[in-house]
């Protein structure tokens, strides 16, 4: 038997062994349909990430696990969906960690105003010990965290005037997430902060119930807020991660193989979703200009002024969070910044 034939035979046997193992593994996976609730649209990075995740799960399970995506808030706002996951009536969702502060205040740590300067800092913290500590808290709350994806840096829009400095925010009615630190942030900056669920936001902007809102550029573009908002300001006042969650009641029904498959699919999709989110956000800013929005850049000096103004808010916010976690986050951030 010559060397070439041995190599071919060895490769064939390896492939056959792999296929047998794959089939055996697939036989241990039950037929399941997984409801994945999504506040954002199918065209958003969230939606595209969910679609990629669903495809990967389908491929890895041999078609036995089917992820059905319910986008656009069709199953309710994020607070409602989080409760439904705890109850086991919805299997999966993706949302900002800050929306879980009602369960544990520590999940609000990433909502600290002007916490991160860039994506490298955010990714390092989320994928490091601080991010893991938060994931480890979830099972006792009835949830399982699979991975951190990206929602991006948040910017301010409104229908009344350009905002280039802190004083321009004075008097604007701004919709914020239903999170105390966001309410405090915009109140301190001079706005009238109005907490509303995301699915209600377009109508609130259209009817002038609120003057403005704050979200990443890509969310503003895909939800067509440019139809009811004239001005955008690149404040980058907060970074929003996207936490991929599943119901613990559902998780407890799964075999180890099924759990591993979902974890692997979420982690495998993470780089794609992050890259897609950040690429779409940059493109969205240009698209918003073409739709007639005026985009104002905010200088680093002005951001520093805003952060200085928000020091009491940050201090108040940190008092609600485990002190050791805040110290660890601060130390990890210093390491990341020193390495840049």
pLDDT value of residue 3:
46
- pLDDT at position 9: 43
Residue pLDDT, tens place only, 289-305: 999 999 999 999 999 99
| Distance between CA atoms of residues 65 and 34, nearest Å | 7
Class for the domain spanning 30-339? alpha beta
Residues 35, 105, 331, 189: is their CA dihedral positive or negative? positive
* pLDDT number for residue 135: 96
> Closest Cα to residue 180, out of 107, 261, 86, 277?
107
Pairing of strands 173-176, 192-195: parallel
The predicted pLDDT at position 170 comes to 97
Nearest to 198 by CA among 222, 176, 182: 176
| Tens-digit pLDDT profile for residues 222-257 | 889 999 999 999 999 999 899 999 999 999 999 999
Residue 96 and residue 115: Cα distance in Å, rounded?
Answer: 15
- Where along the chain do its domains lie? 30-339
Whether the Cβ atoms of residue 165 and residue 309 lie closer than 8 Å to each other: no
What distance in Å separates the CA atoms of residue 11 and residue 191, rounded to the nearest whole number?
Answer: 66
**CA pseudo-torsion sign 220, 225, 226, 228:** negative
Measured at the CA of 14, the angle between CA 13 and CA 16, to 5 degrees, comes to 60
303: closest CA among 241, 245, 240, 233? 233
Task: Output the CA torsion 262→266→267→268 (10° steps).
Answer: 100
pLDDT at residue 16 in the model: 44
Q: What is the DSSP string of 225-280?
A: GGGT--EEEE----EEEEEEEEEHHHHTTS-HHHHHHHHHHHHHHHHHHHHHHHHH
Structural contact between residues 312 and 185, judged by C-beta atoms closer than 8 angstroms: no
Along the 340 residues of the chain, how does pLDDT read in single tens digits? 544 444 444 444 444 444 434 443 445 899 999 999 998 889 888 999 999 999 999 999 999 999 999 998 999 988 899 999 999 999 999 998 988 988 999 999 999 999 999 999 999 999 999 999 999 999 999 999 999 999 999 999 999 999 999 999 999 999 998 888 999 999 999 999 999 988 899 999 999 999 999 999 988 998 899 999 999 999 999 998 999 999 999 999 999 999 999 999 999 999 999 999 999 999 999 999 999 999 999 999 999 999 999 999 999 999 999 999 999 999 999 999 998 7
């Amino acid at each position: 038997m010559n060397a070439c034939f041995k190599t071919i035979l060895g490769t064939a046997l390896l492939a056959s062994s792999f296929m047998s193992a794959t089939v055996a593994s697939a036989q241990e996976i039950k037929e399941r349909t997984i409801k994945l609730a999504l506040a954002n649209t199918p065209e958003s990075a969230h939606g595209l990430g969910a679609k990629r995740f669903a495809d990967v799960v389908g491929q890895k399970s041999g078609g036995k696990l089917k992820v059905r995506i319910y986008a656009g808030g069709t199953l309710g706002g994020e607070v409602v969906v989080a409760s439904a996951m705890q109850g086991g009536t919805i299997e999966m969702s993706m949302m900002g960690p800050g929306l879980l502060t009602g369960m544990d205040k520590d999940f609000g740590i990433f909502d600290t105003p002007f916490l991160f300067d860039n994506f490298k800092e955010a990714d390092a913290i989320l994928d490091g010990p601080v991010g893991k500590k938060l994931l480890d808290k979830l099972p006792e709350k009835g949830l399982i965290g699979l991975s951190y994806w990206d929602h991006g840096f948040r910017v301010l829009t409104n229908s009344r005037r350009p905002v280039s400095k802190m004083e321009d925010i004075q008097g604007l009615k701004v919709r914020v997430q239903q999170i105390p630190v966001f309410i405090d942030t915009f109140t301190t900056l001079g706005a009238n902060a109005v907490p509303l669920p995301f699915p209600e936001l377009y109508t609130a902007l259209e009817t002038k119930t609120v003057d403005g809102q704050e979200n990443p550029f890509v969310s503003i573009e895909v939800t067509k807020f440019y139809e009811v908002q004239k001005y955008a300001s690149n404040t980058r006042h907060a970074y929003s991660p996207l936490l991929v969650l599943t119901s613990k009641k559902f998780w407890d029904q799964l075999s180890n193989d099924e759990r591993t498959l979902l974890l692997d699919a979420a982690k495998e999709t993470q780089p794609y979703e992050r890259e897609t989110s950040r690429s779409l956000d940059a493109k969205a800013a240009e698209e918003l200009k073409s739709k007639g929005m005026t985009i104002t850049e905010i200088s680093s000096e002005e951001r520093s002024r805003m952060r200085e103004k928000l020091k009491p808010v940050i201090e108040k916010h940190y008092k609600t969070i485990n002190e050791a976690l805040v110290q660890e986050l601060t130390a990890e951030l210093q390491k990341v910044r020193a390495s840049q």
